[in-house]
Amino acid sequence: MCDEKEKIIMAFYNEINNSEKEKIIQHTTECMECHNFYETLKKINSFPFENPLPAIDNMILSYSRKIVSDSKFLIKRFIYSLSFAVFLVLMILPKENTYYRYETLIQLKISEIEKNLEGINYDLNNFYDFDFYE
């Protein structure tokens, strides 16, 4: 039994350099087992393979389209579910400084109202200086 069959296959498909390929081809002329193996490879390569039937091609194509569309649907559904879950978690979790923000807003409103009251009070004080009932 000869151990050169792997090298013969590599030489047949031009996967080795030319000097090694020539040595392998020379070996096939000397070894009858390797010669038969090399000739078998030639016959297999020259065998005319028929194209598959168009109906089979269309069935494979439609099946693969169905699988792709189902996969796309599942991916979209997963992404939508994940984004909805993230949204809910962000809405439910207490936000940092939420109380501080509301407290600051309330204090700003109160200080604004106090300024307005001071302005009104100032205007009323100026108004008391006049005597309308004389």
The average pLDDT across 95-119 equals 74
Cβ-contact 11, 21 below 8 angstroms: yes
Q: Which residue has the higher pLDDT, 85 or 133?
A: 85
Residues 87 and 56 in one domain: yes
Residues 57 and 82 in one domain: yes
- What is the reported pLDDT for 129? 55
Could you tell me the residue range of the domain that residue 70 belongs to? 51-93
Residues 61 and 80 in one domain: yes
Domain tally, the chain: 3
Q: Percent of the chain at pLDDT above 90?
A: 11
CA 108 to chain centre: 47
Give residue-wise pLDDT tens across range 55-86. 666 777 888 888 888 888 899 999 999 999 98
Q: Is 14 left (phi over 0), alpha (psi -120 to 50) or beta?
A: left
Residue 117 has pLDDT above 70, yes or no: yes
d(C-alpha 37, C-alpha 39), whole Å: 5
- What is the reported pLDDT for 75? 92
| 88 inside domain | yes
| 133 inside domain | no
Helix (H) or strand (E) holding 67: helix 54-92
| 59 inside domain | yes
| 134 inside domain | no
